[in-house]
Amino acid sequence: MRILILGAGAVGLSVAAKLSKYAEVFAVCRERCSTSIEKDGFFLTGIWGTETFRFPCGVTPPEGPWDYIIISTKAAATREICEKYNHLFGEAEVVSLQNGIGNEEVIAEYTDHVIGAMIITGFEWKADNAVFVSVDGGATVFGRYTGGADRKAELLSDLFNKAGMRASATDNIKGTIWSKALYSCSLNPLGAVMECPYGDLLREPAWNIIINIVHEAFEVARAENISLVQKTANEYLEFLKTAKIPPTAAHFSSMYQDIAAGRKTEVDFINGAIVSLGRRHGIPTPVNETIVNLTHFKEELS
């Protein structure tokens, strides 16, 4: 099986490393990363184990055909990636292994073979060729966009499991992606702005903000006809408090890491997506909009 990973940062390189034992993998990444990996290998540490990997990577991908093309870049770069590399898509299944809402819709403009995914694992850069896997918030989930059971999604899930990365397939990938978006919009930017791990967000003042974020997001999800496992905002909040935050309590959000490194965050594609869709449906989302503005303010101060 041939797998191309586009926009490989901490997530994409870690996934490439694990898959490289069971598939022919190439990761398109920054030149400084590929230079370090080619020289010394790729060092993976944390809850996925400690191991050094060697796999092909670089700034220019080989020609296809490919069985799967995994896009792991930031959501802001999805269209740019598609514009640059769609000539390689062919009959490959193009997989969005990204944060945020709307990536699959963009990819679907360039191919009919789209698989959505939800990954809720924490990755932290340690060097240009080293990543620490800090949090496992659940299995990575794959599914045909926009829905329905799919053998190609199941095969990719099986490969991830074989490589030691928990995974499953679903016939409701849109609902699964939105579930991750709810988790992200509740915790990610607030943890970044306040510079605290997720566990601290259970404190009452922060939790009061999260309550409003989730209630707004649920109204928008309902208007979008998204089928979620938790049927009400209060049911989701209880799930978030008891099942999702405890295993990730010590984790600092990806937006916190982005701001600390001087990078732009993905808030426009998480809370910002809730705001944009809310406007489309005439649903007020003032708390999510405030979170977007606070996060951008934090970016400018850093």
Strand partners, 136: 121
In one-letter notation, the amino acid at residue 122 is: G
Cβ proximity of 156 and 140 under 8 Å: no
Going along the chain from its start, the domains and CATH numbers come out as 2-171 (3.40.50.720), 175-301 (1.10.1040.10)
Task: Give the E-state strand segments of the chain in sequence order.
Answer: 2-6, 24-28, 42-46, 51-53, 57-58, 68-71, 93-96, 114-118, 121-127, 130-136, 140-144, 167-169
Q: Number of helices (H) and strands (E), helices first, in the chain?
A: 11, 12
Share of the chain above pLDDT 90, in %: 91
Which of 77-91, 124-138, 163-177 has the least mean pLDDT?
Answer: 124-138
Of 163, 7, 225, the residue nearest 99 (C-alpha): 7
What's the pTM value of the predicted model, to 2 decimals?
0.92
User: Which helix (H) or strand (E) is 222 found in, with range?
Assistant: helix 204-223
The band of 283, judged by pLDDT with boundaries at 50, 70 and 90, is very high
The band of 147, judged by pLDDT with boundaries at 50, 70 and 90, is confident
Decide if pLDDT at 146 tops 90.
Answer: no
pLDDT tens, residue by residue, 252-274: 999 999 999 999 999 999 999 99
The band of 149, judged by pLDDT with boundaries at 50, 70 and 90, is confident
Cβ proximity of 279 and 112 under 8 Å: no
pLDDT given for residue 160 in this prediction: 98
In one-letter notation, the amino acid at residue 229 is: V
Cβ proximity of 150 and 143 under 8 Å: yes
The span from the CA of 24 to the CA of 56, in Å, is: 9
